[in-house]
Structure 1
């Protein structure tokens, strides 16, 4: 990669640091601010790979943009044009539509896992407490994978609450036709297992804990999370940022959360309390 970047001038600058690529094991993500720049980067990487006896797989190499519309420049490897897609990276969907595709995909996988365990949920010889433990270990763990990276809108937060209620109604055998409210379902679960954190609370807490971890570190993740990008903002309403969730949930400014997060113990206590603030939800999902 160092040979590829010898004469390459990157235009993506975050917090004063130029970022041209991200690497993990044998995966490389090229980063560019313009289509021609990305084309040059791909060509240079292809030449450098060939020089060392390696070959880029055109079938596995994809393009993605964070702008509306598509890439108009033909970017190819070995004469084969690369496709523009949303794709999975380390098991998570990376998309220009934000976190919604990933959250919806996780919800679908969670419901599939829930359905496969239907014989267990219907078994009256298994206690509700045991069923909840199995639900958390075998079903909800699928949903929570990389939830720290999600940017949650109000819609996605409602979907998370809806998913949890569907899971609990399934293991309790409560039909929506029974007109049992979500509060009644929560009360029933609590009667069997005691006080517990709901799914949205767990997501919020994990995300805030990761925010504190990154804030106390000194790596690329901190640069990307806290740095500003050069250039002008587009007109109209702006897309919500990952850090906007932290601001909304803590009710603190960015500077205040930064100062608080550097004290591990204080931040842990704050996260524990702020994650548990949620709007009243006594209606059916």
Structure 2
């Protein structure tokens, strides 16, 4: 999904600045010509984390859905990416790993959660990891 978001971001820039597909310009050239950087993925991550913190601090049906388990059997085939798995994937780093329970606990302290959001959003994006979710 991240790879698709990076692709659509450069596609939008090409359309905004009227860069033709037949011009054979790479995505890096388009970013340099438009004097911008990739910011869509960072913005999405920031908003996802802010929304998650907001939901987790209030007692609501959404919080129950994030914490709860669903009865029954799993669907056949590859399992879908869950919101919590995607969230913990970009929060965790090789040097610092938080479990899902630690992430839930950290949202209770609003200031600590905000500092974690800033840490995650200022971290450089690793574009080599932008592959389909496995």
- TM-score by shorter chain over 0.5: yes
Question: In 2, Cα distance between the equivalents of 1:228 and 1:244?
Answer: 14
Residue-pair matches, total: 122
Q: Answer 1 or 2: which has greater strand percent.
A: 1
Q: What CA RMSD, in Å, does the superposition of the two structures yield over aligned residues?
A: 2.4
Question: In 1, Cα distance between the equivalents of 2:83 and 2:61?
Answer: 16
Q: CA deviation at 1:158?
A: 1.9
Q: CA deviation at 1:234?
A: 5.0
Q: Assess, with a 3 A threshold, how the Cα gap between structure 1 residues 188 and 271 changes in structure 2: closer, same or farther.
A: farther
Q: CA deviation at 1:239?
A: 2.2
Partner of residue 2 from structure 2, selected from 157, 161, 164: 157
Match of 1:267 in 2: 113
Q: CA deviation at 1:240?
A: 1.8
Output one character per residue of 1:128-173: Cα deviation in whole Å (capped at 9) or x when no partner: xxxxxxxxxxxxxxxxxxxxxxxxxxxx322222221112112223
Question: In 1, Cα distance between the equivalents of 2:35 and 2:119?
Answer: 19
Question: In 2, Cα distance between the equivalents of 1:280 and 1:233?
Answer: 32
Partner of residue 238 from structure 1, selected from 76, 79, 86: 79
CA contact 2:56–2:107 (8 Å) conserved in 1: yes
User: Which secondary structure state, in structure 2, belongs to the residue aligned with residue 214 of structure 1?
Assistant: helix
TM-score (structure 2 length as normaliser): 0.74
Gaps of 5+ in 1: 1-155
Q: Answer 1 or 2: which has greater helix percent.
A: 2
TM-score (structure 1 length as normaliser): 0.38
Q: Assess, with a 3 A threshold, how the Cα gap between structure 1 residues 263 and 277 changes in structure 2: closer, same or farther.
A: farther
Q: CA deviation at 1:217?
A: 1.0
Which structure has the larger Rg over C-alpha atoms?
Answer: 1
Q: CA deviation at 1:245?
A: 0.9
Q: CA deviation at 1:224?
A: 0.9
Pairing 1:167-182 to 2, within 5 Å after superposition: 167-182=12-27
Gaps of 5+ in 2: 93-97, 129-134
